[in-house]
Structures are given as C-alpha cells and as structure tokens.
Amino acid sequence: GQQLNQSPQSMFIQEGEDVSMNCTSSSIFNTWLWYKQDPGEGPVLLIALYKAGELTSNGRLTAQFGITRKDSFLNISASIPSDVGIYFCAGQSPDTGNQFYFGTGTSLTVIP
Amino acid sequence: DSGVTQTPKHLITATGQRVTLRCSPRSGDLSVYWYQQSLDQGLQFLIQYYNGEERAKGNILERFSAQQFPDLHSELNLSSLELGDSALYFCASSVPLGAGANVLTFGAGSRLTVL
C-alpha cells in the first residue's frame, strides 16, 4: 500500500516562531491536502494542492506540492496559541483509484 | 459547520454489543468515507461508498459493515464490540472537482466508548 511519512511527529515552539512540516510518499500523488484537527473534533481542511510545483497560501499558512509529486510541505508563519492542534497531510493516489492516504500527523504545541 | 452530519456524537456501550453510526454527507457530495481514529493515532481508512456502491475497502474488520442509502446517507455498523473498538469514527464526504481531484470534508465524529 501507499506509505505517507509525515514529520516531525511533534513540535514545541514559542509563540511568534515559524513552523514547517512535511510529508513524503512512496509514489506520486495528484492531490495533496493539509488538515488541522483540534482535540475531539473532525479534521478541517486548510489547503488543497492540485498541481506539481503549486504554492498556495491561506493567511499565515503556505503549502507546496512538490515537483516530484511525492512530497508536500506546510509552513505556518508567526505562530499563535490557536495554532495548537494536530496537522495531517493527505494525498490522493492515481495508482489506486484516487484513494486518499493520510500521514500520521504532526502535533503542534505553541508556548505563549 | 462542515455540512457533514454525524450521529450520535457520543456513544457508550458494552462489549459484545452492536451499534450503528450515521452520516449525512454534504449536500451534493456523492462519496462517503469512514475513518477510525484511536487515541492519539492517525486516521485509519475503513471503507468508501460512491452513489450507493462500495468503492474501496481499507482496514475494516469483518465485524464492521457499512452501506450508503439512495438518499446518500451512510451507516456504519459495528458488531460484537471489543474494548479495542473504542475510538473516534469519522465520516467524510467528497464530490469530484474535475480530473479526479477531490476534497474530503469531515464530520465532527462519533466517539464510541466500549466498556
């Protein structure tokens, strides 16, 4: 099956710092999605990427679809306490009928 | 509100019992996905339906089954429950945006506790 490696597993940062996390896959994807999940809630879509090389921003968040189509990163600039949560990447594989695969998540803690 | 509705939000039951979780997808979405998330774990894909038909199966146990009805709502049936089935169960829906590109929209989840 598809393998999605997400790193880092957890991050502890000071408020105001920038954050970077990434996902790599064992095969190409045609869609990359980034989600944020608050405790006990469902994941909420942050950014969707559909083309290799695409760079998309959503406020303080920026994500890129890697040129190789096997990776993606998410950056958060000037972190604030409400950025706390678990961030998941998800990719859609054309090799398996466009099924979605999720990374294992990055737990972000922002220290005020 | 994501537009994906899941009920019940919380459910407590005993081992050996059977429960049904319900999902109403976002208006216009034809696909429904079910995911299981155990404590501090990632999202495990269980099963997908598209317009009433099973489209893909993930790590779904034989004790679990699902279906999607003509009105596109879906139910996930969990039987012979075990302690390890305690988890958050999420439903997500999607509609193709073109060229196979999709966005998954998640519900708020159903938290199942098996005692």
Q: What is the percentage of chain A residues whose pLDDT exceeds 70? A: 97
Closest CA in chain A for residue B44:
A102
Q: Does A59 touch chain B (CB under 8 A)?
A: no
Give the residue, B1 or A38, on which the prediction is more confident.
Answer: A38
Q: Tell me if B56 and A99 make a contact (CB, 8 A cut-off).
A: yes
Three-state DSSP class for residue A94: helix
Could you identify the residue written with the tokens 């303080």?
Answer: A60
Distance from CA of A27 to the nearest CA of B (A): 17
The region of weakest confidence among A2-6, A52-56, A75-79, B86-90 is A2-6
* A33 → closest Cβ in B33, B48, B103: B103
CB-count exposure of residue A49 (10 Å: 0-12, 13-18, 19+)? buried
Q: What is the percentage of chain B residues whose pLDDT exceeds 90? A: 76
The pLDDT tens digits for A30-42 are 899 999 999 889 9
- The dihedral of CA B92, B96, B97, B98: what is its sign? positive
The mean predicted confidence, pLDDT, of chain A is: 93
Judge whether B55 and B31 are in contact, CB under 8 Å: yes
